[in-house]
Structure 1
Amino acid sequence: MVALYSRVGSATLFDGAWRLRPIAERRTVWRGHRAHSIAVIIDLADGRSLGAVDNSRTGSTHWVVCRIEKAPSDGEDTNRPRLHLVDEPNEVPVYGTSLAFLLDAALDSGGDIEHLETGRLDELDRGIV
C-alpha cells in the first residue's frame, strides 16, 4: 500500500471500472467490537468497493469486495462520513492476502478477480479464512 500510494497516488484502471482512491479519500467501515474493520481503497464501477481487512491478532491483511454506504448520522460532528457495510458478511468474498497478487490477476483478466476468492467475510471474522 505504501509503495502504491507513493508511486501512483490515484488512478483509474480498466477503462474506469476501477478507481484507486487518493489517500485523502480512503474511508474505513467500522463494524463493531468483534468484527474486523474495512479500509476502502478502490471503487468499482458496479458500486462495490475493494477494501483491506486488517487482523491485528494475526498481523495479516485480507482483501474483500463489498458494498458500503453512508450510515445515518448519530449527531456527532466528524470530518468524515460514517460508513456501514450493506452486504451481509456471508455475502462478502475474501480474495486472499496479497494486493500485488490481486492486482496482477486483475490486470491479466481485465479486472475480473472472482476466481481468486478464498472465503467469505463471516469466515474471516470467525478466524476460519
Structure 2
Amino acid sequence: MSEETPPSWAKACATAFFGLSALVVTIALLSSSADDKPSSPTREQVAAADFAKWPFTVPDGELRCRDGLLVTFATSGFEYGINGMAQDRGYPRPDAIWAYSPSLGHGLKVSIDEVLKRGLRLCRTT
C-alpha cells in the first residue's frame, strides 16, 4: 500500500499556520511597552570594596535584575541600564557615573563586565 502525499495547498496552509503561530507568540512576548518598567526586581547592595575594579564614580548602589534579563544599577535616586536590554527598555546608559580608566588612558572607561556578570547572576536566581 503506497502512502499518499498531501496536496501542495495543504503543505502551504500548514507552513503558513506554523509561521503565523510563531509570529503571534513573538509579538506577545515583545508587546510590553518600552515605558513599562518592572516593579519587583531582584536586588543586591554593592560597593567598590566588593569588586576588583569598581567601574563607577559613586561609592555604592543597588544592583538589580528586572524581568529576568534587565541588569540595572541604582544610586542617588537614578537607575541606569547596565546591559543593552535594560537600555533598550528605557534605562539610561551609566555614562554619568562610569569612571575613566587611568591605566588605559585615551578616554577609555573601566570595564563594567564584572558588575554585569554579577547582575546576570541575580537574574538567574529569579
TM-score greater than 0.5 by the shorter chain = no
The normalised TM-score by structure 1 is: 0.24
The structure that is strand-richer by fraction is 1
Higher relative contact order (CA 8 A, sep 6+): 2
The structure that is helix-richer by fraction is 2
The normalised TM-score by structure 2 is: 0.24
